[in-house]
Structure 1
Amino acid sequence: MSYELRDGPPSVDDFVRLREVAGMAPRPREGVERGLGNSVYAVHAVETAGSGSNSAVDGTAGAGPDGTVGMARIVGDGGSVYHVCDMAVHPDHQGRGIGSEMMEAVMAFVDADAPSGAYVNLMADVDGFYERFGFAETRPASKGMYYRVE
């Protein structure tokens, strides 16, 4: 199989689907519809038609209708705070370097866009992955926290 990275977020349907199949907490469709366009940066991975499979056409092997199998994005103010989030690769396509390629694209954007001293953060759920890109745990100096609107 071969893949292509495309700048910009995936469709709303693919975003919702990828979070679900990757075991991530669901996001309300209304929030996704409002939020995706506000990304500071986004990239998604698409299985290309020349990959020897019909997944880009018929949705098999975990690809969305347009072949989307992965996504990553940055939210924030575009100057002092950048939050890497919504990094997901469909389980049928994991272990092929897609996540690493998307993270390299995210970090290339940060390197080109973020001014010196900008704070880049994320919530890591995969041990050892983000450390390869220079991220370090904040504990004990600080701890990650969240609040979910009910």
Structure 2
Amino acid sequence: MTDDGYALVHEPPEVEVYLRLRREAGMNERSAPGAGRGLPNSLFAVQVTYQGETVGMGRVVGDDGCFYQVVDIAVKPAHQGQGLGKRIMGEIRDYILRTAPPNAFVSLMADGEAHRLYAQFGFRPTHSLGMGWYPNLISD
């Protein structure tokens, strides 16, 4: 634990905690079955706790060789502005620098002002909007 009462935990959150934190941080919802399947498959995960409660999180997913994606960076609104996003990203950066082979590609999707945080860790726009697919949300 640090002097400010926050502690880092290097494991994925429980499904209920994950879903709650995403919701409180204003992120898109995920299903409990999806989270239950996905969270254990994280390459790396970090939680920030305060007085026993998870108030921030971040994960890395991918193939553990060529491609890594930073996902689920979230901080509970009451704890934003305390540098927790930087702590989470610092842990993720350290993990990737320690484990990723040469020429691995690390990506993330940023919305709003989050790009300011990620730029501090070397992320740059790709000048492409890219594409995404939510297969269960498509209607004919």
1:2 Cα offset (Å) = 1.6
Q: Report the equivalent of 1:135.
A: 123
Q: Report the equivalent of 1:35.
A: 38
**Which aligned runs of 4 or more in structure 1 are off by greater than 6 angstroms?**
none
Query: Any residues of structure 2 matched to 1:1-150 within 5 Å, and which?
Result: 2-48=5-51, 56=52, 67-125=53-111, 126-139=114-127, 142-150=128-136
TM score, norm. by length of structure 1 = 0.84
Measure the CA separation in 2 of the matches of 1:12 and 1:42: 13
RMSD: 1.0
Aligned length: 131
C-alpha contact (below 8 Å) 1:123/1:144 kept by paired residues: no
Structure 2 gap segments, 5+ residues each: none
CA deviation string 1:45-88 (max 9, x = no partner): 0003xxxxxxx4xxxxxxxxxx1101000000011100000000
C-alpha contact (below 8 Å) 2:85/2:117 kept by paired residues: no
Measure the CA separation in 1 of the matches of 2:35 and 2:58: 14
